[in-house]
């Protein structure tokens, strides 16, 4: 009887081993679950950042199905997204940022991520500003990926060595550097007449001239009367001055063209979000040898931010479990470091060792983390206003800069009109 029992036990153990092997082979043979991701990350650095996420997901049984829509400001991607939703074929995941998140959540198209956030203790590990952005009506409505610093001034280290100057910390130093760069036949500043790029530069100048308190009245509270402040006039005049430093005949150019000019010693400086830093590094440039990053003059200890986020959309394909798995993976510490290292941004997590970041990213992250710093949302990148207001401001700035007959006071009046909040002005 004992021999029979021992024999049965051996057979059972053998069958158990075989079944485990079969289960493992079956699991390996199963295709990764696809997730359709719509976004506008198409430049070299953006593509590398997205590929980092795709590789991480693939290693964990999720397939990133890419639906990239070219266009620096994301306007084309938003149009495609709306079209797909209307046709009943929404992507599983979409790059939605800032105020557009709440618009989509209001119509019931965003999958809440409360369970993921609770399991991963987002309220403890993420910056409070980030949590505020992705929280709406007690729901977590997106997974945050990275924090961009808009008030970034990039400069060419070789050219500044030639003119014997440190990067400018004040506007007076900026103008001296511009004169010296012109003296060696180098254009001082990269420029594009694309409206969103004009607005990007303007909001950095506006923050420098007005300070964070008035900036909040102008951009966050949208008090139209505040736009008649003399400091706004100074910002508009400076914007026009910077345009005159770029070239005799400014044209619309992509931001990547401006970054390329900086790398090739054709311009000395560029005011652009730190995604331009990521692009330079994607081309092989070094932030310690080829270029450097400082803040726009007058914005020390201020962080004008834009935050990358992905929303999981309600879909007839019933992908909730896979969408939640993706959210959990891309918000983890390893994914955050890998993604932001290429994107030019910094992690949304508070538990990052800043020594693991490059010099540009380290200053951005430590400023955002500092309780004494001013963190202010970008208007040009949908953090402080919806698409309609953002576009109206950008178009108003474009008209001001391309029409020599419009003075700053007229631009102030027009800006006050287009940015007025839908409530009584205080």
Answer whether residue 3 shows pLDDT above 60: no
Closest C-alpha among 141, 226, 212, 205 to residue 373: 212
Query: How confident is the model over 265-310, as pLDDT tens digits?
Result: 999 999 999 999 999 999 999 999 999 999 999 999 999 999 999 9
Least confident segment among 27-36, 241-250, 325-334: 27-36
Spatial separation of the C-alpha atoms in residues 77 and 35, rounded to whole Å: 17
Closest C-alpha among 206, 156, 121, 157 to residue 384: 206
DSSP lists the bridge partners of residue 376 as 304
For every residue of 271-329, which 3-state class applies, written as one string?
A: ECCCHHHHHHHHCCCCCCCCEEEEECCCCCCEEEEEEEEEEEECCCCCCHHHHHHHHHH
Radius of gyration for the alpha carbons in the chain, expressed in angstroms and rounded: 25
Query: How confident is the model over 229-242, as pLDDT tens digits?
Result: 999 999 999 999 99
Answer whether residue 413 shows pLDDT above 50: yes
Spatial separation of the C-alpha atoms in residues 106 and 109, rounded to whole Å: 8
Mean local confidence (pLDDT), 201-217: 97
Q: Which domains does the chain have, with CATH numbers?
A: 34-149+306-369 (3.40.190.10), 152-304+378-418 (3.40.190.10)
DSSP string, 44-76: HHHHHHHHHHHHHHHTTTEEEEEEE---TTSHH
pLDDT band of residue 78 (cuts 50, 70, 90) is confident
Closest C-alpha among 379, 405, 396, 338 to residue 146: 338
Q: Output phi, psi for 175, to 5 deg.
A: -70, -35
Answer whether residue 27 shows pLDDT above 70: no
- At 421 the pLDDT is 59
Query: How confident is the model over 115-130, as pLDDT tens digits?
Result: 999 999 999 999 999 9
Question: Interior CA angle at 99 toward 96 and 103, to 5°?
Answer: 80
CA distances from 330 to 64, 116, 239, 278, 349 (A): 12, 11, 38, 19, 12
Supply the mean pLDDT for the chain: 90
- At 321 the pLDDT is 93
Check: CB of residue 162 under 8 Å from CB of residue 155: no
Query: How confident is the model over 316-366, as pLDDT tens digits?
Result: 878 899 999 999 999 999 999 999 999 999 999 999 999 999 999 999 999
DSSP string, 183-215: HTT-EEE-----HHHHHHHHHHHHHHHHHHHHH
Long-range contacts of 16-20 (CB under 8 A, 24+ apart): none
Q: Is the pTM of this model over 0.85?
A: yes
């Amino acid at each position: 009887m004992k021999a029979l029992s021992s024999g049965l036990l051996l057979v059972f153990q053998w069958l158990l081993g075989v079944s485990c092997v079969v289960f493992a082979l079956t699991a390996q043979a199963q295709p990764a679950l696809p997730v359709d991701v719509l976004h506008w990350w198409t430049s070299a650095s953006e593509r590398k950042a997205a590929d980092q996420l795709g590789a991480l997901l693939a290693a964990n049984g999720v397939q990133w199905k890419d639906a990239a829509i070219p266009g620096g400001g994301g306007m084309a991607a938003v149009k495609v997204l709306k079209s797909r939703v209307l046709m009943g074929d929404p992507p599983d995941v979409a790059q939605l940022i800032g105020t557009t998140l709440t618009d989509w959540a209001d119509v019931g198209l965003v999958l809440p991520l409360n369970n993921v956030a609770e399991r991963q203790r987002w309220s403890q590990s993420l910056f409070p500003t980030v949590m505020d952005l992705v929280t709406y009506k007690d729901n977590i409505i997106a997974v945050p990926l990275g924090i961009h610093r808009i008030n970034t001034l990039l400069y060419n280290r070789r050219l500044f060595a030639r003119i014997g100057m440190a990067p400018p910390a004040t506007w007076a130093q900026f103008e001296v550097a511009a004169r010296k760069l012109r003296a060696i036949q180098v254009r001082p500043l990269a420029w594009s007449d694309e409206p969103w790029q004009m607005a990007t530069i303007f909001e950095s100048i506006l923050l420098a001239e007005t300070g964070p308190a008035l900036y909040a009245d102008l951009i966050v509270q949208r008090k139209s009367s505040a736009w008649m402040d003399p400091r706004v006039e100074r910002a508009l005049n400076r914007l026009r001055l910077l345009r005159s430093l770029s070239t005799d005949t400014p044209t619309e150019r992509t931001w990547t063209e401006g970054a390329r000019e900086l790398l090739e010693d054709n311009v000395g400086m560029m005011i652009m979000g730190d995604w331009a830093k990521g692009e330079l590094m994607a081309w092989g440039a070094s932030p310690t040898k080829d270029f450097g990053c400082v803040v726009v003059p007058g914005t020390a200890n201020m962080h004008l931010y834009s935050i990358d986020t992905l929303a999981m959309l309600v879909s007839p394909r019933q992908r909730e479990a896979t969408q939640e798995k993706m959210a959990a993976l891309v918000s983890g510490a390893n994914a955050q470091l890998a993604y932001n290292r290429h994107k030019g941004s910094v992690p949304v997590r508070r538990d990052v060792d800043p020594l693991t970041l490059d010099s540009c990213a380290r200053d951005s992250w430590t400023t955002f983390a500092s309780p004494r710093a001013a963190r202010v949302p970008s208007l040009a990148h949908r953090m402080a206003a919806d698409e309609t207001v953002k576009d109206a401001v950008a178009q108003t700035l474009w008209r001001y800069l391309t029409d020599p007959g419009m003075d700053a006071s007229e631009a102030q009046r027009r800006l006050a009109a287009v940015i007025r909040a839908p409530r009584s002005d205080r």
